[in-house]
Amino acid sequence: MKKYLAEMIGTMVLVLMGCGAAVSLGCDNTLPSTVVGTAMAFGLSVVAMAYTIGGISGCHINPAITLGVYLSGRMSGKDAVNYIIFQIIGGLIGAAILYLLVISAGGDLASSALGANNLQNVNGESVSMLGGLLAEIVFTAVFVLVVLGATSKTNGATNNFAGLAIGLALVLVHLACIRYTGTSVNPARSIGPALFAQLSEGHATALSNLWIFIVGPFAGGALSALIWKVITPAKAK
């Protein structure tokens, strides 16, 4: 149970800090400084949690990572299901805290949308559902592949720096993907903010497009596991 609670706490921190930074900075894909700040917040949250709960649960704090790890044969189905459940609960708690903070500060929920993911406008045109889904699949696959590689037994001493590598990879993924979807690559990061953003009645598509940020990351996580099995030596897990 302790490792499940660790996943819940870690995901709560990720959503609170990452989405909280997006809200505080007013993240806008046309303003590079806000994009960089938001990307750093998510990446640093992962680094912080990796060295906090990594020894307890492995610090997945992301259902897509958990799926990738499970399909790679590194964890049981029971643990994978419980990890995902507690990650989603943690994301909901983090979003709820952020929601209360924004309200207490008199913030504009309609404009901030609590950092919820959605299809972005690029050059005046909204990214298509297919484009958003493709972005989430590809960037999640890249991210989870880094996780699988950085935590592989064949990496030996470099495992000590896995948390840093994974956090920096998330920064990179955000810098590349925010322009298209606001960057999810993590269903637990998207579900909570979408639900609470809907309460603001100012982000009508937060829930209608939520499936993209669930299906895409899960598909990307599965793809990364497949790629890892193809490229890794048989002894590496």
Residue 212 pLDDT greater than 90, yes or no: yes
pLDDT at residue 94 is higher than 90 = yes
Q: In this structure, is residue 223 part of a structural domain?
A: yes
Query: pLDDT digits over 122-146, tens only?
Result: 777 788 999 999 999 999 999 999 9
Taking residues 24-46, report their average pLDDT. 91
Distances 185 to 48, 56, 171, 213 between C-alpha atoms, Å: 18, 23, 12, 7
- 235 part of a folded domain: no
- The type of residue at 36 is V
Yes or no: say if 222 and 68 are a contact pair by the CB < 8 Å rule: yes
Who has greater pLDDT, 62 or 122? 62
Residue 110 lies inside a defined structural domain of this protein:
yes
Q: What percent of the chain has pLDDT over 70?
A: 91
pTM (2 d.p.)? 0.93
In a domain, 59, yes or no: yes
| Confidence label for 114 from pLDDT (cuts 50, 70 and 90) | confident
* Domains contained in the chain, number: 1
Asked whether residue 234 is domain-assigned, the answer is no
Is 112 among the domain residues?
A: yes
Domain-located, residue 33:
yes
Written as one string, the DSSP assignment of 30-52 is T-HHHHHHHHHHHHHHHHHHHHH
Instruction: Specify the DSSP element, H or E, that contains 18.
Output: helix 2-25
In a domain, 78, yes or no: yes
| Reported confidence tier of residue 113, pLDDT bands at 50, 70, 90 | confident
Average pLDDT of span 83-112: 87
pLDDT at 111: 57
Read off the pLDDT of each residue in 29-36 and give the average, rounded to a whole number: 88
Could you list the residue range(s) of the whole structural domain that residue 145 is in? 2-229
Who's near 123: CB < 8 A, 6+ residues apart? none
- Residue 134 is predicted with a pLDDT of 97
Task: Please check the confidence at residue 158 and state whether its pLDDT lies above 80.
Answer: no
Cα–Cα distance measured from residue 28 to residue 134, given in angstroms and rounded to the nearest whole number? 21
How far apart, in whole angstroms, are the C-alpha atoms of residue 148 and residue 129? 28
Looking up residue 9, the CATH number of its domain turns out to be 1.20.1080.10
Per-residue model confidence (pLDDT) at position 43: 96
5-31 pLDDT, tens digit each: 999 999 999 999 999 999 988 888 778
